[in-house]
Structure 1
Amino acid sequence: MYRLMFSDLDETLLVNHHVPKVNQEAILKARKEGLKFVPCTGRAFNMIPDILKEIGTYDQAGEYSLCFNGGLIVENKNNKVLHFKGLEFEKAKEIFDNARDLDVCVLVFTLDCCYIFHADEDEIQRKIAQKAKFEVIDDFDISFLKNEKIAKILYEKRDMDYLKVLALKLPQSIQDTCSIAFSSGRYLEMNTKGVDKGYGMRWLVDYLGYDMDETIGIGDNYNDVEMIKTAKLGCAVACARDDIKELAQYVTKKDYDEGAVSEVIEKFVLGEDHE
């Protein structure tokens, strides 16, 4: 029996930054059957309150969220931080300084805010749509964040081929000390080494006293790979790249905007393949 379902948000659960009714209804049914539904996202916690409201877990005790690709684990009631593992400032500064002359927008996430450098207007509009707390910084300098908790840094450009080449050219000192992933067709993401969605899943499962055999993970992109591999039932959305689908035990017939999450719930939690 599956007791925990971890779900990516963008291009998995959400359509236009909201949970469609078909997914809301399936999640509600599953939660009534005892399933814990846990958003597992690269977003900050302060970017997902409306999403939690739509799935019924906002400000609820015993309900949880994994943010920053597993770097932050929160109990939703009173926004209680259970675990945080971010970037040390000197490592963040190295990643940041490396982008000084690159053709990328740089996003530095602290627990409370997203700071945008080399601002891209499309990315600004995306952050507005995501209801993110953000600031555009004109000076290319993060010294003002020295005493802040930095969760991760993203390089953004709507050219994934460029970002993949860029990742290969990162200094070895960054490659050796960071978890590197791609997402949403526009981000090269860097967390501290060992932090990924699989790490966050394992931490929460252990904290709750559950077993990994009781978990489902569903996602679509490269920052979801460790979640898909770690879950007992790893699911890939129909829109996922073929190399991601090959890692999954189940690939949805529906795409994210057709209710891929509801398909998995109906099939494996409520329906014919319910264990």
Structure 2
Amino acid sequence: MYRIMFSDLDETLLVNHHVPKVNQEAIFKAREKGLKFVPCTGRAFNMIPEILKEIGTYDQEEEYSLCFNGGLIVENKNNKILHFKGLEFDIAKKIFENARNLDVCVLVFTLDCCYIFHADENEIERKIAQKAKFEVIEDYNLDFLKDEKIAKILYEKRDMDFLKSLETKLPQSIKETCSVAFSSGRYMEMNTKGVDKGYGMRWLVNYLGYDMDETIGIGDNYNDVEMIKTAKLGCAVACANDDIKELAQYVTEKDYDEGAVSEVVEKFILGENHE
């Protein structure tokens, strides 16, 4: 029996940054049956309140969210931080300085804000649409964040081949201290070593006293790979690349904008394949 489902947000659960009705209805029914439905996202926690309201878990006790690709685990009631594992400042500064002369927009996420350097107008529009708290910084200097908790750093460019080429050129000191993933066809994401969505899943499942055999994970992109591999039932959305689909036990027939999450919920929680 599946007791907890972890779901990516962008290009999985959401359409235009909102949960479509077909997914909301399936999630409500599954939660009535006792399923924990946990957003598992690269976003900051302060970027998802409306999403939590749409699935009925906003400010609720014993409801949870995994943010920053598993680097932050929150109980939704009163935004209670259960676990945080971010980047040490010296590592963050190396990642930051590495991008100084690269043709990328750089996003530095603390617990409370996203700081954008080499700002891309399209990315600014995206952050506004996501209702993110952000600041555009003109001075390319990270020292003002020395005493802040830095969750992750992103390089952004709408050219995934270019971003993947950057990974191969990262200094060894960064490769040894960071986990690297890709998402949304525009981000190269860097968390501290060992932090990914699979890490966050395992932490929360252990905290709740559940078993990994009771887990479902669904996603579409490369930052979802460890979630798909870690879950007992790893699901890939129809829009996922073939190499991601090959890792999944189930690939949805519907795309994210057609209700891929509702398909998995109905098939494995509410339907005939419910264990």
Structure-1-length-normalised TM-score: 1.00
Letter in 2 for 1:262: S
Give, in whole Å, the separation in 2 of the partners of 1:210 and 1:153.
Answer: 31
- TM alignment of 1:224-239, pairs within 5 A: 224-239=224-239
Shift of 1:153: 0.1
1:190-229 per-residue CA deviation (whole Å, 9 max, x = no partner) reads 0000000000000000000000000000000000000000
Letter in 2 for 1:179: S
Q: Which residue of 1 aligns with 2:49?
A: 49
How many pairs align? 275
Shift of 1:168: 0.6
Shift of 1:150: 0.1
Q: Which residue of 1 aligns with 2:98?
A: 98
Q: Which residue of 2 aligns with 1:167?
A: 167
Q: Which residue of 2 aligns with 1:29?
A: 29
- TM alignment of 1:1-275, pairs within 5 A: 1-275=1-275
Structure-2-length-normalised TM-score: 1.00
Give, in whole Å, the separation in 2 of the partners of 1:120 and 1:53.
Answer: 30
Fraction of identical pairs, as percent: 87
Give, in whole Å, the separation in 2 of the partners of 1:119 and 1:184.
Answer: 18
Give, in whole Å, the separation in 1 of the partners of 2:14 and 2:248.
Answer: 20
Give, in whole Å, the separation in 1 of the partners of 2:5 and 2:154.
Answer: 26
Letter in 2 for 1:130: Q
Give, in whole Å, the separation in 1 of the partners of 2:244 and 2:177.
Answer: 24
Letter in 1 for 2:223: N
Give, in whole Å, the separation in 2 of the partners of 1:67 and 1:136.
Answer: 22
Letter in 1 for 2:17: H
Shift of 1:172: 1.1
Give, in whole Å, the separation in 2 of the partners of 1:241 and 1:174.
Answer: 27
Give, in whole Å, the separation in 1 of the partners of 2:86 and 2:10.
Answer: 22
Letter in 1 for 2:158: R
Letter in 2 for 1:71: G
Give, in whole Å, the separation in 2 of the partners of 1:166 and 1:273.
Answer: 43
1:134-181 per-residue CA deviation (whole Å, 9 max, x = no partner) reads 000000001000000000000000000000001111111111110000
Give, in whole Å, the separation in 1 of the partners of 2:242 and 2:122.
Answer: 28
Greater CA drift, 191-200 or 167-176: 167-176
